[in-house]
């Protein structure tokens, strides 16, 4: 009995293999995501603090929107990383299929059917789990940045009648 037959004969071994790879990929994605958004958020905080001190409110607004673009790009990158894992593990052969499947799971929209090979069906759970955490994490960062944006807006327009 070789290792391939052992995995196909024992569903718990398939689940263990699937879970081990899923957890490893999940950890990689969350470390990437945390590092990336932390870098953007800390840079945003440092620059906007200086901009507010110097009454450069339009720069605060620019940094706010630029940070949102970077945050969106991180999510797209994470979908591509999941697609690379899927192809690397031999679960799908076509890159576009892997990208669509990973994006469907990551966003938890579910517009793609589960085309993973038998024995790897629970891998979709780990992709979805990473997307839920990453999107929630990004939302919390965005709320903090919105507070800074509002502070700059208030200071810029505090003396106008329209405010």
Q: What is the pLDDT along the chain (163 residues), one digit of tens a residue?
A: 444 455 556 667 777 888 889 899 999 999 999 999 999 999 999 999 999 999 999 999 999 999 999 999 999 999 999 999 999 988 888 999 999 999 999 998 877 666 776 667 778 889 999 999 999 999 999 999 999 999 999 999 887 765 5
Full domain range(s) for residue 131 = 31-156
Taking a C-beta distance cutoff of 8 angstroms, is the pair 82, 32 a contact?
Answer: no
Taking a C-beta distance cutoff of 8 angstroms, is the pair 102, 128 a contact?
Answer: no
Taking a C-beta distance cutoff of 8 angstroms, is the pair 160, 55 a contact?
Answer: no
User: How many domains is the chain partitioned into structurally?
Assistant: 1
Residue 112 counted as domain residue: yes
Residue 26 counted as domain residue: no
What is the dihedral angle through the alpha carbons of 147, 152, 153, 159, rounded to the nearest 10 degrees? Answer: 130
Residue 124 counted as domain residue: yes
Report in angstroms the alpha-carbon separations of 152 from 21, 48, 67: 45, 9, 16
Residue 123 counted as domain residue: yes
Q: pTM value?
A: 0.83
pLDDT of 161: 61
Q: How many CB atoms lie within 10 A of CB 14?
A: 18
């Amino acid at each position: 009995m070789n290792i391939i037959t052992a995995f196909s004969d024992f569903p718990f071994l398939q689940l263990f293999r699937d879970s081990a790879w899923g957890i490893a990929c999940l950890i990689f994605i969350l470390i990437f995501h945390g590092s990336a958004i932390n870098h953007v958020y800390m840079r945003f905080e440092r620059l906007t603090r200086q901009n507010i001190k110097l009454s450069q409110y339009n720069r605060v607004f620019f940094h706010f929107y630029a940070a949102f673009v970077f945050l969106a790009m991180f999510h797209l990158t994470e979908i591509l990383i999941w697609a690379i894992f899927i192809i690397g593990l031999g679960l799908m052969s076509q890159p576009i299929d892997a990208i669509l499947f990973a994006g469907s799971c990551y966003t938890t929209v579910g517009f793609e059917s589960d085309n993973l090979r038998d024995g790897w069906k629970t891998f979709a759970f780990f992709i979805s789990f990473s997307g839920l955490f990453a999107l929630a994490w990004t939302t919390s960062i965005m709320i903090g940045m919105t507070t800074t944006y509002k502070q700059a807006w208030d200071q810029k327009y505090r003396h106008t009648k329209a405010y």
